[in-house]
Structure 1
Amino acid sequence: MSKKLLAGVLGAAALMMGAASAQADEPAKIGFVYVSPIGDAGYTYQHDLGRKAIEEKFGDKIKVSFVESVAEGPDAERVVMNYAKSGYKAVFATSFGYMNPTLKVAKRFPKVAFEHATGYKRAANVNTYQARFYESRYLTGLVAGSMTKSNIIGYVAAFPIPEVVRGINAFTRGIRAVNDKAQVRVIWTNSWFDPGKEREAADTLIGQKADVLTMHADSPATIQAAEDAGIYAIGYNSDFAKFGPNSHLTSSVTNWAPYYVKRVGEILDGSWKGNQDTWDGLSADMVQVAPFHKDVPQSVRDQVEQAKADIIAGKLHPFAGPINDNEGKERVAGGQTMSDGDMLGFNWYVEGVVGKLPK
């Protein structure tokens, strides 16, 4: 081989090695898909705190993007597809209605890691994850049941899917543990984020004499309605105290950051595996209870803390029998506890919830 040819070969090899090295040094691209605006509090806000946690943890090893207010359905598929086509290593799809679009895209991009929040369908490159929201819901129910005077508690709810029904039932179980005269009235908005509908539902419940409100929705409208009416409210996903300084008793708070840090760490070190499901709660600090309003008596705070410790220790379960539905039928016998599978399929109200569950 001539010196000139050898020099050319070595030069080409050096260029290839340089390109490979540069590619190896490029940050891993991570994408997030949000169902509502990030805002100042709520479901999407908490996921975005998790996004910020991975940026702080991994720095220039990753490049993170997000798209907010992505409608469930075809638009979600478009956004997830764009990430996959653009060389992203992982996509976190953070809403229940993103499940099928995510699975569809995942089939076309088997080398991309997909993570879907609150769903139940998995694949070789798709994991699911959610929080045991019902544990902290039960704890905040203890507060609501202790603080109501009218014994009517209002609940502004998004969609009648098992996740939301499970939260209503756990909250009611907490209420009834301390106040068997209290009832929960539910109004459905059929939207994860619609401040106008949420406010209208909250005002309607106030008109029905509810003196404590809570919600499964992503805006502060319910808390603000309670503040304006001079009654109490309990938040969800975030600490909503700044939206109701006089009304906000506490919140059920979701902490996604540890999960995101764990999964992104696995993606970076090559140990990430698909087809996994994570369902963590108080024991993993994935759900928490926000600080209490000054009006909450110390005795109630102590009761909440004891119940929290008992749930973590396995001494207390929000869905331990006996449990009747709101039509008087026994659903869980005494000495029995609902399985995860049964809780994941909740399609009935517990005793204490007024009305029929929409089909």
Structure 2
Amino acid sequence: MKLPTDHPNPLVRGLFSFWAPTKQSMRGWALASVVVNAGITVTGAGVRVTGSGLGCPTWPKCTPDSFLPVAHPEVSPLNMAVEFGNRLLTFLVLAVGIACVVSALRMTPRRPSLARLAWLQPVGIVTQALWGGLVVNTMLNPFTVGMHFLISSGLIAACWMLYARAGEGDGPVRRVVHRDIRRLGHVLLAAVFVLLVVGVVVSGTGPHSGDVMASRFDLDIEAVARLHADIAYVVVGLSFALLFALHVSDAPRPARRAALALVVVELSQGVIGYTQYFLAVPAALVLLHVLGSTVVWIFALRAVTSLRTRTPENVPAPHSPAEAAAAV
């Protein structure tokens, strides 16, 4: 009997590659998990900017009497469809997460480090779904909505680490740049996360609450927007510093390219941010800005993971004079 992993159609083989995983297919599923988690983060913002946050006014049911959308006198059919569609995407994200777990468990030889990272996905996705119920039950309280976004950011980080670790060994971490440059990368990543947190506060203070009944943070929108912009300047400055340090130290090309890509997406995000501010935050640009913030987070993770590697446990790391000097 021919197994799906032996199917002549490459699409079928790819869909069932989790059952007979290779290093390449494991990385492929991990990257797919990054994409789908980023996607549902952006569609969640789409729910908010279209005013569909309470399109399904109850949870886990869409309406008090049905799990599926049905006509409701107080809810627009469009808003209900948008919110229910976003809920359905959770099953796609969960399916990809389970595929990552199966791939990690069936890898030969077994790599417990990958299995642990993979298990974070279904656990995190279920946690995220339960938190989504809290968002609905609190009538889109800005704190619960903001945490919903930050939990997604944490899931994206776990997915990216799975992708990075799947391409490495399980030996000790080995720097590919000077230790101070790697520390700069960690500071940059922390600054990007702070930028995301403050961005959540700006979103929770401004318009596009998701529903007219939703509450807002009682803050000065001008003040929090300026704070967000100031932190963005710090992030861009740190990114330029990382790029400069990598070039003058003749760091490996992948690290330099990752830092350059990060700077480019940050500058693009800055253009979007200022444009939406001066145009009184139109919904389409808010959605684009959320997409940009998610891309910045992913590229920041990529830049930081490019600064180190791991060798297989049974293969000693090389110790050439040049690498010894670079590790100082």
Give the structure-1-normalised TM-score.
0.23
Structure with more strand by fraction = 1
TM-score by length of 2: 0.25
User: Which structure: greater helix fraction?
Assistant: 2
